[in-house]
Amino acid sequence: MVGACSNPNNTNQTENNTSNQNSGNQEVKLTLVSYAVTQSAYEKIIPKFVQEWEQKTGEKVIIEQSYGGSGSQTRAVIDGLEADVVGLALSADTLKIQEAGLIEPGWEKEAPNNGIVTRSVVALVGREGGKTAKTWADLANPDIKVITANPKTSGGARWNFLVLWGAITQSGGDAQQAQDFVTSVYKNVPVLPKDAREATDVFYKQGQGDILMNYENEILLAKLKGENQPYVIPTDKNISIEGPIAVVDKNVDKRGTRKVAEAFVQFLYTPEAQRAFAEVGFRPVDETIFEEFKDQYPKVEKLFTVENFGGWKQVQKDFFDDGTIFDQIFSNLKK
């Protein structure tokens, strides 16, 4: 949060933390906690920021990084992992950290674009010469085995769940029809990995499943690495996967890292950083940079968002809290 709760006279800070805020060839450590599939982007962006910050201030920044399932990362931060900046797979996870008292309300307004730093959509990945799925409805075919992560631990899997639900409700179907359809898809899911990265490994390395539900950016990144698995972006309807970024207020004030943490968040919206996101397959939020890369991103006719479901608080309450719709679906699968 730019300027929020900055207090140069804060006596609660240790002498070490106070010195960390001063310039003059100091070394400052930041901890970035993010969800699994952002790693390739941050590996490109972080050296750019570190170089720019040292040129501007003379201060060397070391950014320690932690990647994993968004839900698991959220719990780790709440349980004591001292993240300075969190980049999670969905705003619902950032809100959980806020509710735990570590991030101040209003964090969305303290960065550009309501705190959203990247976008993507859901893709359906097949195998060369294997079974194909071109539409959401194809995933309900009992002859097709679908790989997706567990929405209890993976933000990416929650997007997958919502795109399936929205495939029905955004076409005029009701909640019961949506639940029946989503249940039919999950009947075809042989295993629920903990996060999107593990789901990718289950599909590619272990050879399980016919179709992988994955981020578009993961597919594009794989192509850059020479992997050319066939895939489809359903463009009649899809969901805008929006990745937020936030400073963890309680931790940066304790550690004396607010200034550099806020600068890092702001850097993620620069053309240089947005271009780096785009180069590894994320749809940039900077429209000028998006225009540079538009040929690699198919246009979606009906692109809905989490707001079509009432926002993340409502989504959590309706779908992913214990005993709600996902648990009901999962229980039915065991019968």
Is residue 300 situated within a structural domain?
no
Residue 41 sits in which domain range? 15-119+242-295
**Is the domain of 56 the same as that of 131?**
no
Is residue 2 situated within a structural domain?
no
Q: Is the pLDDT of residue 8 over 90?
A: no
Q: What is the pLDDT of residue 15?
A: 35
**Is the domain of 224 the same as that of 142?**
yes
Q: What is the CATH number of the domain that holds 194?
A: 3.40.190.10
What is the pairing mode between strands 146-147 and 211-215?
A: parallel
Tell the burial category of 142 from Cβ atoms under 10 Å away from its Cβ (0-12, 13-18, 19+).
exposed
**Is the domain of 176 the same as that of 207?**
yes
**Is the domain of 206 the same as that of 92?**
no
For every residue of 275-293, which 3-state class applies, written as one string? HHHHHCCCEECCHHHHHHC
The Cα 207–Cα 241 span in angstroms is: 26
Q: What is the pLDDT of residue 2?
A: 28
Q: What is the pLDDT of residues 222-244, one digit of tens each?
A: 787 787 789 999 999 999 999 99
Paired residues of 214 in beta bridges: 123
- Pick the residue with more confidence: 245 or 199? 245
Strands of the chain, DSSP E: 27-35, 60-68, 85-87, 116-120, 122-125, 146-147, 211-215, 231-232, 237-239, 241-244, 246-247, 283-284, 302-304
Q: Is the pLDDT of residue 160 over 80?
A: yes
Q: What is the pLDDT of residues 81-122, one digit of tens each?
A: 999 999 998 898 999 999 999 999 999 998 999 999 999 999
**Is the domain of 184 the same as that of 247?**
no
**Is the domain of 115 the same as that of 133?**
no
Distance of alpha carbon 261 from the chain centroid: 19
Compute how many other C-beta atoms are within 10 angstroms of the C-beta atom of residue 225: 8
**Is the domain of 210 the same as that of 135?**
yes
The Cα 105–Cα 94 span in angstroms is: 10
Q: What is the pLDDT of residues 14-60, one digit of tens each?
A: 333 433 544 445 899 999 999 888 999 999 999 999 999 999 999 99
The Cα 155–Cα 71 span in angstroms is: 6
Instruction: Answer whether 245's CB lies under 8 Å from 265's CB.
Output: yes
Q: Is the pLDDT of residue 13 over 50?
A: no
Find where tokens 């009906």 sit: 302
Is residue 226 situated within a structural domain?
yes
Pick from 129-143, 168-182, 212-226: least confident: 212-226
Is residue 175 situated within a structural domain?
yes
Residue 319: DSSP 8-state: I
Compute how many other C-beta atoms are within 10 angstroms of the C-beta atom of residue 191: 15
The Cα 67–Cα 117 span in angstroms is: 17
How would you classify residue 241: left for phi > 0, otherwise alpha for psi between -120 and 50, otherwise beta? Answer: beta
**Is the domain of 110 the same as that of 129?**
no
Is residue 5 situated within a structural domain?
no
**Is the domain of 133 the same as that of 280?**
no
Which candidate, 110, 120, 100, places its Cα nearest to that of 214?
120
Is residue 7 situated within a structural domain?
no
- Dig out the tokens for 289 from the structure: 């940079």
Residue 114: DSSP 8-state: G
**Is the domain of 145 the same as that of 30?**
no
Percentage of the chain beyond pLDDT 70 is 92
**Is the domain of 228 the same as that of 255?**
no
How many domains does the chain divide into?
Answer: 2
**Residue 306 identity:** V
Is residue 250 situated within a structural domain?
yes
Is residue 6 situated within a structural domain?
no
**Is the domain of 126 the same as that of 115?**
no
